[in-house]
Homo-oligomer: A and B are copies of this chain.
């Protein structure tokens, strides 16, 4: 799909069929995620790929907005042992967000649907996801991306708003 089409077709999809996402498509999503930029190219990300029903159930209970039935979840985590020391380390959030956007766009391209459920920095949700995945201390869950074959198709949307543009010329 053309990039410009995928950008506007990318909408939050929260209803999915029971059809699993193929292993091939999972790999395509992960390649997309890891192609993103990162501060000083530290790639401070980890990707948890969850299809186990009991764990998906725990993720649904992890946060107010995470109650979504999907055959697949990818939890994008920051790896603080890989991140830069001192004042640069908070960049993992930005790096993992760019990786997440790449995954969402590639999902559209693969005719999948997806939704980004924010976890970090909501402390209770973070703790719940940490427990559900038995995360080591150094990994911080940024979000849960639910992915599947869509059973709803929100319309493509352009949210351009000229009031948000400030020219200095």
Contacts and interface: CB of A to CB of B under 8 A. Distances in A.
Interface in A34-49: 34-37, 39, 43, 45-49
Assembly stoichiometry (copies): 2
Contacts of A98: 97-98, 100-101, 104
A97 B30 CA distance: 18
Contact of A101 (B36, B87, B161, B167): B36
Contacts of A159: 34-35, 43
Contact of A7 (B8, B102, B116): B102
Given A3-B106, A55-B168, A97-B97, 4 more contacts: A31-B158, A34-B160, A34-B161, A98-B98
11 contacts: A1-B2, A4-B28, A34-B159, A43-B161, A47-B164, A47-B166, A49-B166, A90-B121, A95-B97, A97-B98, A101-B101
